[in-house]
Amino acid sequence: MKEKMGKQQTSAVKLDFAVPTKVGKYQLLDRIGSGTCGIVYRAYDAILSRDVALKVSQVGTLDQQTGRVPGAQKAFITETLSAGRLAHPNIVTVYDAGVDGPLNYIAMEYVEGVSLKKHGRGQTQLPAYRVVNIIASVCDAIDFSHKMGIVHRDIKPANIMVASDASVKLLDFGIAVSTSAEDVSGRQALGTPNYMSPEQVVGKDLGPRSDIYSLGAVMFEMLTGQQLFKAEEVKELFRAVIKDMAPPLRSIRPDLPKELELVVARCLSKNPRQRYASGAEMAAALRDVADKMAPPDLLTPELESWMSLIPQLKFFSGFSARKVARFTSVCNIVRYPAGSTVLSRDTIDNHLYVILEGVASTGDGSGLSAVLGPGDCFGESGFVRGDKSVLDIEVMTDIVALKVHSKTVQALPDADQLGHYQMVSNSIAKRTSNSDELLLDLAL
């Protein structure tokens, strides 16, 4: 079902229909969402022993008078065709598709996490720095889909998932269209009204810059806690999308940097040519802004209390205060008493540890190998490669350390990951050259 306004249709009305407990080879567990084109369940694939997200829709029949295929059936065909072309870490993976009696189904990667809908319209707002990085990841996703010739057309908070491991996934290509000229012109205006571009509202040709606008509208909402335009009727909302200028970001959030306001304004330009030409260009602009944003809102009070010391440690030598703060923001503070063992040989621990205070020793079973002090790290083999530890790490005096899991770092933007792994490499090299000096200092 779609709300109709003359020639325009939107995805404002959700479908609801009876679904059996098993569809295809999938056992349905619980309903997790619904939309214009289908209902989504968490389901179990007994053959591969894994949970999937299963979208089901009713099989449509051709209208003999008009020759039209129902919208839900078009969405099933569109999403199935798109799936084979969209293998990207920021796009949800489609495993399988088929028809079971009166139902179509698409089996997708089950993402444990929440959609940005939870953070929309002022609900539990995310820190601005986190929003910028999430949107940059979605930019990567749409840049890839556009290169594959696909415009999403329904970018909205509900279609952007933030997984429990902090990775970002773009969902639902059910109303996507090809960027070939014959495929995007003369179509009805499908989408979700609050996030549709001006050209999408009036049914003009759509290109990648339409998705750029929609993503800008999502970003505006995530940063301000309010939707870009509001109206009691969809007709009035469309009028605002076409004619009204977006409020300057800093008129609502004066604490945000001017550079971010300019990025949002460019995305929301009424003229598509004035927007970013690609998702990659928008992602680069956002990451440049993020690199200039200090993220104190990401630090817990305990982490904040150590920030006068942390940037001075040799582990962080050569890195900007903001890069140090970003690394610290994904860490936890841990403490170990003297005489305890933090790591043992032949065990796997995917965490990296950076000592803030105290002294520890490394041993390979044949005696003391090295002494580690503030600014040294350990656990590199498990953190970088997932290998077993080849050393015992014994605490000589009470230590305080930063602790971070490899998956947490892998979920960060590539530019941040590179810097963090460079920190690890630098620390290992420095430890090798300074280990004899540290042992001598300890002996004295």
Which of 246, 249, 221, 257 shows the shortest CA–CA distance to 134?
221
Query: Is-contact 382 350, C-beta < 8 A?
Result: yes
Buried b (16+ CB within 10 A) or exposed e, 243-274: eeebbebeeebeebbeebbebbbbbbbbebee
Query: Is-contact 197 246, C-beta < 8 A?
Result: no
Task: Please count the other Cβ atoms lying within 10 Å of the Cβ belonging to residue 61.
Answer: 9
Residues 320 and 341: their CA atoms lie apart, in Å, by 33
Query: Is-contact 290 128, C-beta < 8 A?
Result: no
Q: Is 147 exposed, middle or buried (0-12, 13-18, 19+ CB in 10 A)?
A: middle
Query: Which one is catalytic: 45, 143, 154, 172?
Result: 154
Residues 149 and 419: their CA atoms lie apart, in Å, by 33
Entry field: residues in the chain? 444
Residues 272 and 261: their CA atoms lie apart, in Å, by 18
Positive/negative CA dihedral, 200, 205, 207, 209: negative
Q: Please, what is the end-to-end C-alpha distance for the chain in angstroms?
A: 79
Residues 441 and 262: their CA atoms lie apart, in Å, by 53
Owner of token pair 């969809």: 234
Q: Is 47 exposed, middle or buried (0-12, 13-18, 19+ CB in 10 A)?
A: exposed
On the CB side of 241, how many CA atoms lie within 13 Å of its CA?
Answer: 24
Q: Is 416 a catalytic residue?
A: no
Return the active site residues.
154
